[in-house]
Amino acid sequence: AGDPPLCSVHGTRDGLVPYGRGTIGAQLPPQLVYGSGALRTRANAVGVPNVLRRLRGAGHVPYSFEPTYLDSAFMATRDFLRPLLGAGAPGPLLAAALN
Bridging pattern class, strands 6-11 and 31-34: unpaired
- DSSP, collapsed to helix, strand or coil, labels residue 5 as coil
Q: What end-to-end distance do the CA atoms of the chain give, in Å?
A: 37
Predicted structure pTM score: 0.76
- pLDDT for 62-96, tens place per residue? 888 788 888 888 889 989 898 888 765 555 555 55
38 within 8 A of 20, measured Cβ to Cβ = yes
- pLDDT for 6-26, tens place per residue? 999 999 999 899 999 999 887
Dist CA 14 CA 8 (whole Å): 13
Q: Residue 20, by phi and psi: left (phi above 0), alpha (psi -120 to 50) or beta?
A: alpha
- pLDDT for 25-71, tens place per residue? 877 888 999 999 999 999 999 999 999 999 999 999 888 878 888 88
